[in-house]
């Protein structure tokens, strides 16, 4: 897979965060996925939210995709006792660029993946990533350089890596820039198409 190097209409980080109600000091952890699909592991992320907030109280969450609207999320949040944490469910969106613009960290907790378009888009937008070491994720994420790879189901490791990024703005910036370079150099759609030809 590959992506266009220019995304959709540009929006400032400030405006994007205001759109979703995040404050300046919030560090926004985002996931773009079809939450009801078990292979996407969205519920594993929900299971980790309390531990992440305990380690990093300024962590906030933006969930985007089918099954992430507030009405669908409410029972999931209440069942875990995390309804009071700031979790914004954006639901299915066509203007996903505004979602990436509001994020500081992109995560995926999938049990299986091909070569994730969401991950490509996140890296293109300069976001550091914490993702499971499954499918094509290790082809995209260089562990400890552009983000972190963790074993599927290893919740403590996932929480530890996310908290480390929340607490370290220079690390987020360095990993995000390295990830963007990796997409530009290896996964531009024109280059990928040429390799197929």
DSSP characters for the chain? Answer: --B-SS-SS---HHHHHHHHT--TT-EEEEEES-TTSGGG-HHHHHHHHHHHHHH-TTEEEEEESTT-SHHHHHHHHHHHT-TTS-EEEEES-S-HHHHHHH-SEEEE--S--SS-HHHHHHHHTT--EEEES-TTHHHH--BTTTEEEE-TT-HHHHHHHHHHHHT-HHHHHHHHHHHHHHHHHH-BHHHHHHHH-
pLDDT at 26 over 80: yes
Q: Is the pLDDT of residue 161 over 90?
A: yes
Angle between helices 155-166 and 42-55 (to 10 degrees): 50
Which is higher by pLDDT, 129 or 36? 129
Task: State the number of CA atoms in the 13 A half-sphere of 50 facing the CB.
Answer: 10
Q: What is the token pair recorded at 72?
A: 């669908």
Q: What distance, in Å, lies between the first and last C-alpha atoms of the chain?
A: 14
Q: Tell me what the mean pLDDT of segment 53-58 comes to.
A: 95
Stretch 8-22: mean pLDDT: 86
Q: Chain-wide mean pLDDT for the chain?
A: 91
Predicted local confidence at residue 25, as pLDDT? 92
- pLDDT tier at 29, thresholds 50, 70, 90: very high
CA-based R_g, the chain, Å: 16
pTM more than 0.85: yes
**In 102-123, which positions are buried (b, 16+ CB within 10 angstroms) versus exposed (e)?**
bbbbbbbbbeebeebebbbbbb
pLDDT (average), residues 17-24: 92
Tens-digit pLDDT profile for residues 62-118: 999 888 888 888 888 888 888 777 788 888 888 889 999 999 999 999 999 988 999
């Amino acid at each position: 897979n590959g992506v266009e190097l220019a995304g959709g209409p540009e929006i400032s980080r400030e405006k994007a965060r205001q759109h979703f109600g995040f404050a300046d000091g919030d560090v926004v952890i985002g996931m773009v996925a079809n939450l009801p699909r078990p292979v996407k592991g969205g519920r594993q992320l929900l299971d980790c939210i309390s531990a992440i907030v305990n380690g990093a109280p300024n962590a906030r969450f933006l969930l985007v995709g089918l099954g992430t609207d507030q009405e669908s999320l409410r029972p999931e949040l209440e069942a875990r006792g995390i309804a009071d944490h700031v979790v914004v469910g954006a639901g299915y969106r066509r203007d996903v660029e505004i979602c990436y613009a509001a994020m500081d960290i992109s995560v995926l907790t999938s049990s299986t993946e091909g070569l994730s378009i969401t991950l490509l888009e996140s890296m293109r937008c300069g976001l550091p990533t914490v993702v499971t070491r499954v499918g094509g994720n290790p082809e995209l994420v260089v562990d400890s350089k552009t983000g972190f790879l963790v074993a599927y189901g290893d919740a403590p490791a996932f929480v530890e890596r996310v908290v480390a990024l929340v607490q370290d703005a220079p690390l987020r910036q360095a990993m995000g820039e390295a990830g963007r370079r990796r997409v530009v150099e290896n996964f531009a759609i024109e280059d990928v198409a040429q390799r197929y030809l």
